[in-house]
Amino acid sequence: MELSHVDNAGKARMVDVSNKDETVRTAIARGVVRMKPDTLQTILDDNNKKGDVLQTARLAGIMAAKKVPDLIPLCHTIIVTGAKVDLETDPELPGVRIEAEVRSTGKTGVEMEALQAVSIAALTVYDMCKAVEKTMVVDNIRLVKKTGGKSGDVLIEK
């Protein structure tokens, strides 16, 4: 198997996408932040000293989707045409479920943008609540769907 980000000498390189077709590309990623029920209750009661946890995490996730090449060295700079980050409290976890959907029309996919959006949203939840609980766990960040591009549509989970 040939790795696309490594040249013949084994050195890291950015993939040349200049000959790829521009297509509409989407990616959906998910993850969770597990916490104690009391910590979740502070979010539900909007009683966090740092402010609105879910709204702050949503904005952080959207901002993160636009900053991927600043943090992941071999990712291309792309125009993110849409980024949606949803956070849902879940007493069964207990914690917060996060889903990000990112769109672009371009020559390369947006999987990393969706994954980074979820990651940063989760870390923001952690940061906003760490004064209440230090034992929260950011968990199960994964790609669940992608569309567009040469490899076509991939559905990993519904």
Is 86 annotated in the active site? no
**DSSP per-residue letters across the chain:** ---TTB-TTS-B-----TTSPPEEEEEEEEEEEE--HHHHHHHHTT--TT--HHHHHHHHHHHHHT-HHHHSTTPPP----EEEEEEEEETTTTEEEEEEEEEEEESS--HHHHHHHHHHHHHHHHHHHTTT-S--EEEEEEEEEEE-STT--EES--
Catalytic residue among 38, 86, 127, 153: 127
Catalytic residues: 127
